[in-house]
Structure 1
C-alpha cells in the first residue's frame, strides 16, 4: 500500500482531507475542506491510520 505524502488529498470515513504530516503509522489530515465541516463541533485536524485512507490526489 502506498503512503500519502504531505499535500496529498485523501479520503476516509466519507470525508476528504489534506495531509499535513506523515508519521510512521498514520497521517495528520486537515479536514476543513469538507462541505459539512462545522468548526464549532469538529476539530480542524485528525489522525488517520495508513490502512484507513485512500489517496485521491497526489501531492
Structure 2
C-alpha cells in the first residue's frame, strides 16, 4: 500500500477527490475544495480518510 504525501490528489468514497494536507499514522486529512463541484455538494471543506480507503491520482507538484 502506497501512502499519500502532502500535496497528492487522491480519490475516495463515491468519486470524491481532494488534496492531502496532512499525513497521520493511519489516515490523511484531505481538502475537498479541489473539486470543481464542491459548492454544489454541500459537504465539509475537509475530511479524514484511512490509508486503506483511497487511491493516489496525482503526485504533489513540488516545484
Fold similarity call, TM over 0.5: yes
**TM-score with structure 1 setting the length:** 0.89
CA RMSD, 1 decimal? 1.6
Which runs of 5 or more structure 2 residues have no equivalent in the other structure? none
Specify which structure has the higher proportion of helix.
Answer: 2
Change over 3 Å in CA distance of 1:30–1:39 after alignment to 2: farther
Residue of structure 2 in register with 1:26 after alignment: 27
Which runs of 5 or more structure 1 residues have no equivalent in the other structure? none
| Cα distance in structure 2, aligned partners of 1:27 and 1:6 | 9
**TM-score with structure 2 setting the length:** 0.84
